[in-house]
A = this chain, B = another copy of it.
Amino acid sequence: MTEKPKRAKRDPEGRRRAIVEAAAELIGREGTRKLTHRRVAQHAGVPLGSTTQYFSNIDELRRAGLEELGRLIEQDYDEMFRDIAKLGGTPAAFAQVINDYLSDQAQVEVDTAFYAAAVNDPQMRQLARASFELSVRRSLPYVDETRATALTVLLDGAMLDTCLRGEPIDPAVVTLAVESIFAAKLDPGDAR
């Protein structure tokens, strides 16, 4: 009752969402170098003016797109760790979930694009760092912090290499690495 939209188009939130999602998708597909108002507007199906109305300049628009990408990655993590929990949180569970993730090349490329964009953008590094820490935190129920960090590093490396090579890292490699990290004694000074 409080809403009385004069026209169907009166949906600022929806507009903004559409723009942000279009920006995120474009960044995921071709990086930030070719991101322009015009391309975002066209891809989002909104008039050019909207992209400048909702974002005071192109940097903000890019940032919004990257943040959206960051959010999607977080959802990825949520899902991955939900699956890990379902599978019992075992080393094998970690390995399988990671390998499943790596087999989705499109997803891997989008995620990597996010990190790639962050490399040369100080503000974005913040987000990437948060993402890193989230991954570590989510692993803590299953392993100590050192191992959790190692697993995160491994995941990030596998993601990057899978993206660049255009095909998943050999699952055996991931499985070996994950399981050996789990199996390692904490104090590396001790022999086995």
Which A residues are closer than 8 A to B by beta carbons?
A: 29-33, 91-92, 95, 109, 112-113, 115-120, 125, 128-129, 132, 146-147, 149-150, 152-161, 163-166, 169-170, 172-177, 179-181, 183-184, 186, 188, 191-192
Closest 8 CB pairs of A and B: A157-B157, A180-B184, A31-B120, A116-B116, A153-B157, A180-B180, A156-B157, A116-B119
**CB atoms of A176 and B165 under 8 A apart:** no
What B residues does A191 contact at CB under 8 A? 91, 179, 183
What B residues does A125 contact at CB under 8 A? 164-166
- Report Cα–Cα, A128/B112, bound state, in Å: 14
**CB atoms of B192 and A183 under 8 A apart:** yes
What B residues does A181 contact at CB under 8 A? 176-177, 180-181
What B residues does A116 contact at CB under 8 A? 115-117, 119-120
The one of B163, B184, B186 that contacts A119, using a Cβ cutoff of 8 Å: B163
Interface CB pairs A-B, < 8 A, 12: A91-B191, A116-B120, A125-B165, A132-B164, A149-B170, A153-B173, A153-B174, A172-B188, A176-B186, A177-B184, A179-B188, A179-B191
- Report Cα–Cα, A132/B170, bound state, in Å: 13
- Report Cα–Cα, A188/B92, bound state, in Å: 9
**CB atoms of B153 and A158 under 8 A apart:** yes
Given the interface pairs A120-B31, A154-B153, A191-B183, the reply to whether A176 lies near B146 with Cβ below 8 Å is yes
- Report Cα–Cα, A157/B132, bound state, in Å: 11
> In whole Å, how far is A111's beta carbon from the nearest beta carbon of chain B?
10
For A27, give the chain B residue with the smallest CB separation.
B120
> In whole Å, how far is A188's beta carbon from the nearest beta carbon of chain B?
5
**CB atoms of B112 and A119 under 8 A apart:** yes
Q: Name 16 extra pairs, CB < 8 A, besides A150-B177, A154-B157, A156-B157.
A: A31-B33, A91-B191, A116-B119, A116-B120, A125-B166, A132-B161, A132-B164, A146-B173, A153-B158, A153-B169, A156-B161, A157-B160, A176-B186, A176-B188, A177-B177, A180-B180
